[in-house]
Structure 1
Amino acid sequence: MKSVRVALAGAGNCAWSFSQFVAQAQADPETRLPGLMCHTVGGYRLSDVRIVAAFDVDAAKVGLPLAEAFTAPAICATDFTPLGVDRNAPVLAAPVLDGLAGPLGAVVELAESARDTTQEDVSKALAEHEVDVLVIVLPTGASQAIRMFANAALAAGVAVVNATPEELARDVDLRRRFADAGLVLLGDDLRSHVGATSLHTTLIELLLSRGLVLASTYQLNVGGNTDFLNLADAGRSASKFASKANALRAAGVTDVDGVAGPTGFIGHLADTKVCFANIKATSVLGSEVEIDVKLTVEDSPNAAGVIANAVRLGKTATDRGLSGAVEDAAAILFKSPPRGLPESEARAAFLDFVS
């Protein structure tokens, strides 16, 4: 079996957890790891993934091997396991564009080389490292930088996994350009493995399957990593609220008073994310049902499990000659795919595709 050669656009907490998950799989390829939904996807094990390069703008990361870059001050995700064969993958400079707009600019020192790096430089690096799949894990709201990476991948002939809320897979024109080029474009906005959106939409699907009528719902999330620091800026978080709203609509929340999204940065939480969700519904004889739930997770490993599925899905779809969004198969992996599905349908579609 050939490898899945992956590059990371962004060497932050999610990239760090994903890299550790890959290293854990490489150390013992036959073990079925906790949290890995599928041991194989299209014949690829997680141990077949190779992280061959990453891109960033942080002076504490650029120019370093991957393992050293993940010791930068901005990293707060737990160090579970050392990196293996991918530890020396280079962290390359990326064009900064709007990547450090908002609160991040106060905590990240810009690498000098990022000032002069171009989209063409990124495309050249993707080609030189023979990348199969580029995973975009940039800060929410960095619209220019995210789209730059999508266009660089398109020019280099590389599939894309868009883990951000920026609308790439939902962009009809960009999706067509990827399809015309014979390239896979998966997105948008990664749905954490067992996260706020998965829990929330599963509960909604349960109530609707019993014939209840939704009255109102909310999902409030707080955390302490750089993602939540970035999202504390209303200008940066707008696309996240829109993405969460798309996920609720796919679950069946239409003419209902509902809101979901990040509501606060609490520094001492570090990589811990806390979700408070509430659902009110009407049942038999007008009786009321109310669900209040609190979910506490470590944010970045929760993303790593989904990226593990997404990169292998992207490579599998490419091997099968598919292109564009691969809509139904990808719906379980993203909050805001081109065509959303209820949780159970999305899971069935994914498993059917990868089996």
Structure 2
Amino acid sequence: MKSIRVAIAGAGNCAWSFAQFTAQAQADPDTRLPGLMCHTLGGYRLADVTIVAAFDVDEAKVGLPLAEAFTAPAVSATRFTPLGADRDAPVLPAPLFDGLDGPLGAVVRTAPAVADATPEDVAKALVEHEVDVLVIALPTGASQAIRMFARAALTAGTAVVNCTPEELARDEAVARGFADAGVVLLGDDLRSHLGATCLHAALIELLLSRGLELESTYQLNVGGNTDFLNLADTARSASKFTSKSNALRAAGMTDVDGVAGPSGFIGHLGDTKLCFANVTASSVLGSEVRIDIKLTVEDSPNAAGVIANAVRAAKTAGDRGLSGAVDAPSPLLFKSPPRGLPESQARAAFLDFAS
């Protein structure tokens, strides 16, 4: 039976939701789960995915099995189902670098073992646990730590799914290094399954498809999990604004007044994310069309379905002899891939790749 062995860098909210989604699939492999676009992708079901290790720096997680690590105070995503085969996967210490710079440093205490952890330890662990795909889900803005994990994966020959806005797949030098080594790299900045960017991009594409001219647009996002706490620091959130702008430009937003990005941390929202978006366009005889929307989602499960597709796409790409930044599945899975596409074209390219 084919399987995919996954490690996660960053045992936080998105990792917790993804682990639960995987457990749900493992419990009933043949059931088609809501929110999973492809039951089978490249011959792999989600039930064929196993999380074999995670990396973190939080003293409430490091050294614990995965199921216990997800009870840490910093994890606010809803607990829907217990973990199955993955519950005892170890949470290993990772080098800190800039992982807790900014507001996160005030709410997360570093595990003592982190002081002795090295990039070589990460690469060695990936080899020892026979990891096929490393999912990088570190805090936005942790540039040094994110790139360290990418280098460690490259050393180990492990495919990478970059869920962060840090430019790895878009960085020509990084992508070339993965291509030369015969290793797959997917990224950058994971899209939510049905989130703010997905909805915003679809609206822009719809208006343009009807011949309207886009005049202005905005997208404001607030939430209460540690991701939004981290993004409250403008030094950490800059890459997120760039990534979202890349996604909207791929949808057709050109020289208009537009802004999109995180706009505030509201602690009592927990893992709930609110998006407020506006699109204004001119239509027949210069008449105005204005769309105002509010989207409410639980943030972390919204990422889990996309990670489920991304890890299977990464393994499938490797099976097919592809390497480096792989174009076909990326525009649907990421906000800021090397080559963006409008939503409808991205979906068609992904489904063609998945079949």
In which range does the TM-score fall when normalised by the shorter chain? Answer: over 0.9
- Separation of aligned partners in 1, 2:331 and 2:324: 13
Measure, in 1, the Cα distance between the counterparts of 2:347 and 2:271.
Answer: 27
Paired residues of 1:279 and 1:290 also in contact (CA < 8 A): yes
Separation in structure 1 between the aligned mates of residue 268 and residue 302 of structure 2, nearest angstrom = 19
Q: Is the 8 A contact 1:11 1:55 kept in 2?
A: yes
* Alignment partners' CA distance in 1, 2:210 and 2:10: 42
- Name the residue aligned to 1:288: 288
Show the counterpart of 1:313. 313
> What amino acid does structure 2 have at the position aligned with 1:277?
A
Say yes or no: does 1:71 pair with 2:71: yes
Question: What is the SS of the residue equivalent to 2:188?
Answer: coil
What CA RMSD, in Å, does the superposition of the two structures yield over aligned residues?
A: 0.4
Map Cα deviations across residues 206-230 of structure 1 (whole Å, 9 max, x no partner): 0000000000000000000000000
d(CA) in 1 for partners of 2:30, 2:256: 46
After superposing the two structures, state which structure 1 stretch, 324-333 or 125-134, moved more.
324-333
Partner of 1:255: 255
Q: Which runs of 5+ in 2 are unaligned?
A: none
Displacement of 1:329: 2.0
Q: Which residue of 2 aligns with 1:30?
A: 30
Give 1:235's aligned amino acid: A
TM-score, length basis structure 2? 1.00
1:1-355 equivalent positions in 2, closer than 5 A = 1-355=1-355
Q: Distance in 2 between matches of 1:328 and 1:103?
A: 37
Q: How many residues align?
A: 355
**Displacement of 1:242:** 0.5
2: CA distance between counterparts of 1:286 and 1:74?
Answer: 50
Q: Distance in 1 between matches of 2:27 and 2:193?
A: 22
Letter in 2 for 1:323: S
Q: Is the 8 A contact 1:184 1:318 kept in 2?
A: yes
Counterpart code for 1:234: T
What amino acid is the match of 2:325?
Answer: A
Which amino acid in the other structure matches residue 32 of structure 1?
Answer: R
Identity %: 81
Letter in 2 for 1:267: G
> Partners in 1 of 2:233 and 2:59 — Cα distance?
23
Superposition misfits of 4+ residues, deviation over 2 angstroms: none
Q: Which amino acid aligns with 1:280?
A: T
Equivalent position SS for 1:327: coil
Offset from partner CA, 1:104-149 (integer Å, 9 cap, x none)? 0000000011111010000000000000000000000000000000
Separation in 2, partners of 1:3, 1:226: 32
The CA deviation at 1:294 is 0.3
Is the contact made by 1:166 and 1:239 (CA closer than 8 Å) also made in structure 2?
yes
Q: Distance in 1 between matches of 2:140 and 2:353?
A: 29
Q: Distance in 1 between matches of 2:41 and 2:9?
A: 23
Counterpart residue identity of residue 345, structure 1: Q
The CA distance in 2 between the partners of 1:320 and 1:244, in whole Å, is 30
Output the TM-score relative to the length of structure 1.
1.00
- What is the CA deviation profile of residues 144-178 of structure 1, one whole-angstrom value per residue up to 9, with x for unaligned ones? 00000000000000000000000000000000000
Q: How far apart in 2 are the matches of 1:140 and 1:59? A: 20
- Secondary structure of 2:71 counterpart: coil
Are the counterparts in 2 of residues 328 and 339 from structure 1 also a CA contact under 8 Å? no
Q: CA deviation at 1:328?
A: 2.6
Distance in structure 2 (CA, Å) of the matches to 1:75 and 1:348: 35
The offset of 1:2, in angstroms, is 1.4
1:42 corresponds to which letter in structure 2? G
One-letter amino acid of the structure 1 residue matched with residue 152 of structure 2: A
Question: Shift of residue 83 of structure 1?
Answer: 0.1
**Equivalent position SS for 1:328:** coil
Measured in 1, the distance between the counterparts of 2:115 and 2:65 equals 20
Query: Residues 215-261 of structure 1: CA distance to partner in whole angstroms, max 9, x if unpaired?
Result: 00000000000000000000000000000010011011110100000
Residue type at the aligned position of 1:128: E
Q: CA deviation at 1:315?
A: 0.3
Q: Distance between the aligned counterparts of 1:115 and 1:173, measured in 2?
A: 30
For 2:305 and 2:68, how far apart are their aligned partners in 1? 22
SS of 1:228's equivalent in the other structure is: helix
Give the Cα–Cα distance (whole angstroms) in 2 for the partners of residues 319 and 190 of structure 1. 22
Letter aligned with residue 311 of structure 2: V
2:326 partner letter: V
